[in-house]
């Protein structure tokens, strides 16, 4: 009779061990670090500014599949001040929204910002076409 409650307790302990790492990762992903990319919509090859708010310390790095290289971030010490940097958008990207992650204060902060990449497909809606000869006056 004792093996039933003992097995139930062991199963509960195993479940708690499995759930704890997932709960820690969820809490860690929402720890107050936010990234703003300016402009928020950019064309391939454009330069963008990256601002991370909520990082402790004076340095960090922003990463995205949309960036040519990681953006080095620097700023004032403390979580009340943002760290800043710049990045270049890779050429050849498809239109879409790309996630931005940050590493600062010794931790990774995944998917805390986004950048929308949009190629300029605009065509002029009006082309001036002459309809009559130009009056130039005669000499």
Kindly state whether residue 139 falls inside one of the protein's structural domains: no
Total domains present in the chain: 2
pLDDT, one tens digit per residue, over 37-57 is 999 999 999 999 999 999 888
Give the integer Cα–Cα distance in Å for 85 and 42: 16
Of the pLDDT bands very low, low, confident and very high (cuts 50, 70, 90), residue 24 is very low
Phi/psi at 87 (5° precision): -145, 160
Q: Is the dihedral of CA 52, 48, 62, 95 positive or negative?
A: positive
Judgement on whether residues 44 and 20 belong to the same structural domain of the protein: no
Phi/psi at 59 (5° precision): -140, 165
Judgement on whether residues 6 and 51 belong to the same structural domain of the protein: no
pTM: 0.64
Judgement on whether residues 108 and 46 belong to the same structural domain of the protein: yes
Judgement on whether residues 69 and 102 belong to the same structural domain of the protein: yes
Give the integer Cα–Cα distance in Å for 50 and 60: 11
What pLDDT sits at residue 139? 58
pLDDT, one tens digit per residue, over 77-94 is 766 789 999 999 999 999
Judgement on whether residues 50 and 80 belong to the same structural domain of the protein: yes
Judgement on whether residues 23 and 52 belong to the same structural domain of the protein: no
Other C-beta atoms lying within 10 Å of the C-beta of residue 11: 10
**112: domain range?**
33-117
Of the pLDDT bands very low, low, confident and very high (cuts 50, 70, 90), residue 13 is very low
Give the integer Cα–Cα distance in Å for 70 and 124: 36
Judgement on whether residues 83 and 40 belong to the same structural domain of the protein: yes
User: What's the CATH code of the domain at 41?
Assistant: 2.60.40.10
Kindly state whether residue 135 falls inside one of the protein's structural domains: no
Among residues 121, 113, 123, 103, which one has the least CA distance to residue 48? 113
């Amino acid at each position: 009779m004792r093996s039933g409650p003992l097995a139930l307790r062991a199963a509960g302990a195993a479940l708690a061990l499995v759930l704890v790492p997932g709960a820690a990762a969820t809490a860690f992903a929402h720890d107050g670090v936010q990234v703003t990319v300016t402009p928020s919509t950019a064309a391939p090859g454009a330069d963008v500014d990256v601002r991370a708010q909520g990082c402790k310390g004076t340095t960090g790095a922003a990463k995205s599949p949309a960036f040519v290289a990681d953006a080095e971030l620097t700023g004032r010490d403390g979580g009340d001040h943002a760290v800043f940097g710049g990045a270049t958008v890779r050429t050849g990207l498809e239109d879409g929204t790309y996630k931005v992650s940050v590493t600062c204060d010794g931790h990774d902060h995944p998917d805390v910002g986004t950048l929308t990449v949009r190629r300029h497909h605009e065509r002029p809606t009006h082309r001036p076409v002459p309809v009559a000869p130009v009056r130039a006056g005669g000499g």
